[in-house]
């Protein structure tokens, strides 16, 4: 983190922001400010350069064509890879998750190289789209409460040896390969298929990103009653797809 403020970068809101994923940046920003931190939020449109000096980068989901355009621009730009090399925290959802992997199948049916920040590779699932509620137990190394979210994707993601699954599924399709995993993480880069927005439904995950960025083990507690009410309501409403 820079001397003065926490730099939170929201990557390509014009191309990647489905199902309320913008809420993720609002939650990170809000929870940092509630801890007395000064936050410098930077929204980077796809015709702008990605700054390399951010502390936390957030990328949302997107439809297939915007996903390809975003990937081409991010590859050309190179800023996100440099930020990752600087140890930035990168949190990605759905299309964002596929983009930071090694490759995915684009809207033209071709293999599109990703940014290679997570050792995963995505293909197009042969089954129905994965749509519905997700409940999953997060990796015990991260030690957080059960995750809640919802998913809507056609791509499925295979994990390489360089990553750990972010979570184990209780409900939903997650990575979609039938191995019971959801998402992936590797050092400071995280990917998930969960929308919701996922950081509103799982505020401890937002706090994890803040703790990693600040290099601290704990943050001052804040009033989480509204988050808890949302979590409880969404957990109770979750239905197994028929």
- Cβ(90)–Cβ(80) under 8 Å? yes
Residue appearing with tokens 């939903």: 172
φ and ψ of 11, to 5 deg: -85, 125
Rounded Cα gap, residues 66 and 128, in angstroms: 21
Q: Tell me whether residue 9 or residue 94 sits nearer to ligand GLN (CB atom).
A: 94
Q: How far is the CB of 95 from ligand GLN (least distance, A)?
A: 4
Q: Could you give the CA distance from residue 115 to residue 91 in angstroms, rounded to a whole number?
A: 14
Residue 94 known to be catalytic: yes
118: nearest Cα among 104, 105, 101: 101
Which tokens sit at 48? Answer: 């702008």
Catalytic annotation present for 130: no
* DSSP-derived secondary structure for 146-176: PEEEEEEESEEEEE-TT-EEEEEEEES-TTS
Closest residue to ligand GLN, judged by C-beta, is: 61
Please tell me whether residue 23 binds ligand GLN under the rule CB under 6 A: no
Q: Closer to ligand GLN at the Cβ: 19 or 227?
A: 19
Nearer to ligand GLN, 31 or 68 (CB): 68
Single out the segment in contact with ligand GLN by CB under 6 A; choices: 27-35, 79-87, 151-159, 221-229: 151-159
Span 48-67, contacts to ligand GLN by CB under 6 A = 61-64, 67
Q: Is residue 31 involved in binding ligand GLN (CB under 6 A)?
A: no
Active site residues: 94, 195
Residues that bind ligand GLN in the complex, under the rule CB under 6 A = 18, 61-64, 67, 94-95, 152-155
């Amino acid at each position: 983190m820079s001397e003065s403020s926490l730099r939170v970068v929201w990557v390509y809101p014009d191309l990647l922001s489905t199902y309320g994923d913008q809420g993720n940046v609002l939650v990170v920003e809000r929870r940092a400010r509630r801890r007395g931190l000064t936050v410098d939020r930077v929204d980077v449109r796809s015709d702008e350069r990605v700054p390399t000096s951010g502390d936390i980068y957030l990328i949302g989901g997107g439809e297939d064509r915007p996903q390809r355009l975003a990937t081409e621009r991010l590859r050309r730009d190179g800023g996100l890879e440099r930020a990752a090399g600087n140890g930035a925290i990168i949190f990605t959802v759905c299309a964002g998750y596929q983009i930071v992997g090694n490759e995915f199948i684009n809207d033209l049916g071709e293999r599109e190289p990703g940014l290679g920040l997570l050792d995963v590779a995505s293909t197009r699932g042969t089954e129905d789209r994965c749509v519905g509620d997700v409940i999953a137990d997060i990796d015990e190394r991260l030690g957080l409460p059960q995750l809640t979210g919802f998913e809507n994707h056609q791509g499925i993601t295979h994990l390489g040896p360089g990553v750990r699954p972010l979570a184990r599924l209780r409900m939903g399709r997650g990575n979609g390969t039938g191995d019971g995993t959801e998402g992936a993480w590797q050092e400071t880069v995280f990917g998930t298929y969960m929308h919701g927005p996922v950081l509103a439904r799982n505020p401890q995950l937002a706090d994890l990103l803040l703790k990693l960025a600040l290099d601290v083990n704990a943050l001052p507690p804040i009033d989480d009653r509204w988050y808890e009410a949302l979590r409880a309501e969404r957990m109770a409403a979750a239905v197994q797809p028929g």
